[in-house]
Structure 1
Amino acid sequence: MSLITIRALGVTLSTPLFANLNLSVAAGDRIGLVAANGRGKSTLLKCITGAFEPTTGEIFRARGLTVGHMEQDLPAGLEALTFREAVLGALSFEQQDSESWRADVTLEELEVPEALRERPLGQLSGGWQRIALIARVRVGEPDVLLLDEPTNHLDLSKIARLEGWLASLPRDMPVVISSHDRAFLDAVTNRTLFLRPERSQLFALPYSRARAALDAADAAEERRFEKDMKAAQQLRQQAAKLNNIGINSGSDLLVVKTRQLKERAERIEDAAWPAHQERPAGAIRLANRGTHAKVLVTLEDAAVRTPDGTLLFRTGRKFICQGDRIVLLGLNGTGKTRLVRLLRDAIAAAGAGHEGIKATPSLVLGYGDQALSDLSDAETPHGTIIHRFDIGDQRARSLLAGAGLSIEMQGRPVGQLSGGQKARLGMLVLRLTNPNVYLLDEPTNHLDIEGQEALERELTANEASCLIVSHDRAFVRAVANRFWLIEKRRLIEVDGPEAFFAEAALPG
């Protein structure tokens, strides 16, 4: 039985986001919603809740159906509330008086530590704020859950906790999830909707298998279109020959036959539909200027410490060599970002020894952190490029347009851009730096799947030398050729990431 029925739904803003969308949400559905940044995923979820009016089409909900919607951003004013107060506040005033226990049950479900429950949300990490948003949606026990980018800011342990919580929900509760986390979608969904401006595609499969089916369907559609166009062209060629013969011979029969061939060609052309061509959100390209050095960085048992001097771990003797794509694994708080910053400082020291780390003098660093702190929120994208690089106004505008930033966006302050737009601007800055070694801390934050895959191709095809910190399991598996793990205050090399992924998923 369908709880939500969507018929011929369409939304057009400056351009069509989607059109003629038909979807049925039934008991037990776990639907992954996939599209590039800015292509209508959040808008569709708002249409389902009734918070946004579609351009065309209708949505029918079962009588009495309650829908819980987790949006991406923390509502204004919530930062000052404690974790428990924020969850309790999602209930009605009557429920807050008589059923406050619901908040405690939900906090237990999501394994929120006691020590965090009375702390203001503004003092907690982005990951715990995200868990608070999920708890606020769950506490009301809705019939359907809509989750918009629920894994944003979550580390591996919290993603595993979220996956376990979704698995523990009543099996007949439908959940619709908008996400760019491919491994997460594979773990929690059983249907996948690829949202497109025209002819959105739905598969009764989790993401990876659905993506393979989508690629096969697009390839078959492309072959059908080419075949139809070839058939129409042949008919037009035949018509042209008969027309010449008819003109020379004065045959009325050949004139009629010529017209019939042309009409058949037109019918084929009108019925033929070109295969879907994804409109790119913006190109991601990286540079690799290369270096003659084989060993780029040497670690001589460097000590990685907290700001107050507490030892987190020692590196032992390690080397970063040309062509290495090293992923740094470790639980939150073990010192991954601290090591990245030490490496950044050592490379900036132009070959001088730095806290047990020695970098080859010829290195040019491409550095990007998860907060994109290298970008000034007050500067415009255009100003960011022309002030840092000697490329001129027209070239800067062309590069920014290629990265998906329109002329209008190029003049906005960076702080007004979406996360995806800022991420692509950051990647353009990295490219123009023309580095020969990269230090990337959570580089897939805010990138859609198209952007993640583009970054994977750039790093592997260019044989870039890099050290990466990432919680994106699909990205790690696709990119890395070496793995360093922080374990028991030591940095060790391991054969692959799977044992660590499994450990991070354990409750604790």
Structure 2
Amino acid sequence: MAASCADILRREFPELDGEMFDYVTGVLHSGSSDFESVDDLFEAVGELLQDVSRDSKDDEDIRAICQRMYNTLHLDSENAQANRQLLLDAPIQLSQITDSCESGLEMLPGLLLKRDQNSMVNTKKLEKAEARIKAKQIKKQERDATKSGNPLVLEEATASQAASKKETRLETSGKNKSYDVRIENFDVSFGERVLLTGADLNLAYGRRYGLVGRNGLGKTTLLKMIASRSLRIPSHISILHVEQEVAGDDTPALQSVLECDTTRESLLKEEKELTAKVNSGRAEGTEGARLSEIYARLEEIEADKAPARASVILAGLGFNAKMQQQTTKEFSGGWRMRLALARALFARPDLLLLDEPTNMLDVRAIIWLENYLQTWQSTILVVSHDRNFLNAVATDVIHLHSQRLDSYRGDFENFVKIKEERLKNQQREYEAQQQYREHIQVRRSSRAQLGMWQCLLHHAVGVTKKDSEVSCPLIVFIDRFRYNANRASQVQSKLKLLEKLPKLKPVDKESEVIMKFPDGFEKFSPPILQLDEVDFYYEPDNYVFRSLSVSADLESRICVVGENGAGKSTMLKILMGDLAPVRGIRHAHRNLKVGYFSQHHVDQLDLDISATELLAKKFPGKTEEEYRHQLGCYGVSGELAVRPVATLSGGQKSRVAFAQMTMPCPNFYILDEPTNHLDMETIEALAKALNKFRGGLILVSHDERFIRLVCEELWVCGNGTVQRIDGGFDEYRNILQEQFRKEGFL
């Protein structure tokens, strides 16, 4: 099979170079089972072959050649086996190959190839071809899994770490009493994707660290590796990771928080049992002494103050006195996540790990948490997208990027300034070195003089004629000695000098996140969207709203704030028409087209299919390129667009939801907590996109910076109504701070 295809390629494309030949034959070999038609094969390699043919063959010629290769691939397997030549096991990932100018050699999967410097390989086209093949392979795996009745198996995260004899010795001897966390030279992967390599993480006891970085780079995975102790943490350091909500059962909320202090609970249980024995007269001589020890220990840990401390934490997170006595099964998932946070704060671990803690909180609870964590005595590592929260809480920032971790002292604003300064310095150093290299590097000689130098360099440093035809860093022509063939030793000396210079790389700037909301704008006569004297309840004895009157137009930029449970999401659903008022009128313009983003958007996505398939399923009739372009507008491009949605990070799933929401081009958006799970760069891009959007907007958000960037009007939801705050967010924050002072939280 392979020999026949190779013969066709050599005969039809004599100008095909070695790398391209190896790539195409590798694709034909590894993807043969995925080519269900000649169209599949043409899609995989046709564009590349058209590029190589340099316009000597048109599309029909290329397709005819692909048809012959397709027929060859589907010959009887026994006949094909006899003609098969040795091929690569997988398509060459040329985008991941590192050029080695010093030796002129490159390692490719399964082969040691000498790089043809005049190669016709178009790396971008190869990457696109590989992405298409990978997408087909993923689809085939999904189909096979569906047919066999087996669910798609998701990748798992793994961590590895170089052993430290010193730390191992300290750990086994029990002499390590430090509560600092030092994890050195470790790697973290998610399936086949490397997230961190050779990274170091140092957390000094008592400091509060903010972990920041783009969506999908591995922040949440890193927290999980630390929490599970897949990375080595001294055993005497207690760790709590607020990740899962509290289980719903008959335990009251307050008792659920108290129970996480296992020392106190066990002492109280033993004290109760011993007291019962003493009162019943069944006590022996040792019970009295043990009771004294227990009383002393309970006094030492201030066990009597624990209920009050737990109650303060719950109240700060929004649980009133009645809610604190409700059983955990009576709460929704969001409130049970708050309970999990309350338990962690009450337990006071040595290392507290928080992953987007503000996602589950309203503005009031966020402000309370900021104040509470500022007095935290042990170590915190928190992932957050909320700049104001990090500025209030973090004493240090850890930046995850380029598979490494960089540490910065100070809050988030300080991190931004220092990072920008570092990047400028790195760029200046790189440019200075480039100028130095250019200063001692000669302009190219004439062809004849170049030939002489090629011979010299070949004998002096082993550089081949072919390698010297390109601007390899090893080939340096010195102006002073250009015409003097007897000075080859000085040329070598200069070459060695350049070799000793540290190789600086240009600054690797993170790509800018761009989001675009398509305009569906046309002028309508008001009112556009209005609620007039609306009453609403889920249960007749418990009104959510009474006499609610609000309105919005196509120029509105409104943010709705208020405590959780005040009715913010309910009001949005009434505005959209998903919930009907018990009394009153909802009016919407007949040409109004609303796009809705739910705070539980992940629940609305089919996690078992890819993002492109998701759009095709919801909006049929368009080409795959159109679906991919739509996803690309929200940063879901390349391989991300064809991976199962279940394998995407929380922020990437949010972007898919944005792409789905904007596909019909609405002229009015209602967004419920749109910034949850998004990284800071994407939040900034979202704010810019909304500001450019020519249509109306109502959103619910707890992100102070985002609110300030986007909204011009603030509605406070509570006490069965909605009140407009003329002073904006500053006035709202002052109102909350005054409430905290009255309630004794500050």
Shift of 1:494: 1.7
Going from structure 1 to structure 2, the CA distance change for 1:472 and 1:259 (only over 3 Å counts) comes to same
Shift of 1:32: 0.9
> Is the Cα contact below 8 Å between 1:239 and 1:262 reproduced in 2?
no
Could you list the per-position Cα deviations for residues 437-491 of structure 1 after superposition, in whole angstroms to 9, with x for gaps in the alignment?
Answer: 2111111122222321221121123455311111111211111133334476353
Aligned mates of 1:403, 1:95 — CA distance in 2: 54
Counterpart-to-counterpart distance in 2, 1:421 and 1:343:
28
Q: How big is the shift at 1:198?
A: 4.2
Matched residue, 2:365: 158
Match of 2:576 in 1: 344
More helix by share: 2
Count of matched residue pairs: 489
**Distance in 1 of aligned mates of 2:268 and 2:226:** 27
Q: CA deviation at 1:4?
A: 1.8
> Which residue of structure 2 aligns with residue 196 of structure 1?
401
Gaps of 5+ in 2: 1-177, 271-297, 454-481
Alignment equivalent of 1:501, drawn from 733, 738, 746: 733
Q: Which position in structure 1 is the counterpart of 2:419?
A: 214
Partner residue of 2:244? 73
- The answer for the alignment partner of 1:56 in structure 2 is none
For residue 83 of structure 1, the aligned residue among 244, 248, 253 is 253
Alignment of 1:372-387 (within 5 A): 372=601, 375-377=604-606, 380=609, 381-387=611-617
How many angstroms does 1:362 deviate by?
3.0
Q: Which amino acid aligns with 1:436?
A: N
2:541 is the counterpart of 1:363:
no
Q: Which of 647, 671, 676 is the matching residue for 1:445?
A: 676
Asked if 1:320 corresponds to 2:525, the answer is: no
Correspondence for 2:382? 177
Q: What RMSD over aligned residues (CA atoms) do the two structures have, in Å?
A: 3.8
Question: After superposition, what is the alpha-carbon deviation per residue over 1:75-101, rounded to whole angstroms, capped at 9, x for unaligned?
Answer: 6x5556442453344344735625676
Q: Check conservation: 1:363, 1:437, Cα contact below 8 A.
A: yes
Match of 2:187 in 1: 10
Contact 1:284-1:424 at 8 Å conserved across structures: no
Compare 369-378 and 4-13 and name the one that shifted more: 369-378
1:145 aligns with 2:352: yes
Question: Among residues 134, 148, 152, which one is paired with 2:341 in the alignment?
Answer: 134
Q: Which amino acid aligns with 2:324?
A: R
Instruction: Decide whether aligned partners of structure 1 residues 421 and 296 sit closer, same or farther in structure 2, where only a CA change above 3 A counts.
Output: farther
**Maintained 8 Å contact 2:554/2:695:** no
Q: Is the contact between residue 382 and residue 410 of structure 1 (CA under 8 Å) also seen in structure 2?
A: yes
AA partner of residue 599 (structure 2): Q
1:110 aligns with 2:110: no
8 Å contact from structure 1 (residues 297, 319) kept in 2: yes
Q: Is 1:36 aligned to 2:208, yes or no?
A: no
User: 2:338·2:360 contact (CA, 8 Å) conserved in 1?
Assistant: no
Deviation at 1:358, TM superposition (A): 3.5
User: Structure 1 residue 428: deviation in Å?
Assistant: 0.6
Partner of 2:702: 471
Q: For 2:663 and 2:635, how far apart are their aligned partners in 1?
A: 12
Instruction: Kindly provide the CA deviation profile for residues 178-226 of structure 1, in whole angstroms up to 9, marking residues without a partner as x.
Output: 2222211111111111122345321111112212322332243234334
Describe the SS at the equivalent of 2:360: coil
- TM-superposed deviation, 1:34: 1.1
CA contact (8 A) 1:325 1:464 kept: no
Mapped to 2, the partners of 1:251 and 1:141 lie a distance apart of 76
Using the TM superposition, give the Cα deviation of residue 493 of structure 1 relative to its aligned residue in structure 2, in angstroms. Answer: 5.1
How far is the alpha carbon of 1:429 from its aligned partner? 0.8
- Listed as ranges, the gaps of 5+ residues in structure 1 are 54-58
Say which SS state the counterpart of residue 307 (structure 1) adopts: strand
| Distance change >3 Å, CA 46–CA 388, structure 1 → 2 | closer
The worse-fitting range, judged by mean Cα deviation, of 388-397 and 360-369 is: 388-397
The worse-fitting range, judged by mean Cα deviation, of 468-477 and 301-310 is 301-310
Structure 1 counterpart of 2:577, one-letter code:
D
Structure with the bigger RCO (C-alpha within 8 Å, sep 6+) is 1
Q: TM-score, normalised by structure 1?
A: 0.82
- The answer on whether the counterparts of 2:185 and 2:199 sit within 8 Å (CA) in structure 1 is yes
In structure 1, C-alpha distance between the alignment counterparts of 2:636 and 2:222, rounded to whole Å: 22
How far does the alpha carbon of each residue in 1:361-385 deviate from its partner, in whole angstroms, 9 at most, with x for none? 3332211121117824477344431
Report the secondary structure of 1:200's partner residue.
strand
Q: CA deviation at 1:427?
A: 0.5
CA distance in 2, matches of 1:38, 1:81: 37
| Residues 532, 548 of structure 2: 8 Å contact kept | yes
Sort the Cα spacing of 1:325 and 1:228 in 2 relative to 1 into closer, same or farther, 3 A: farther
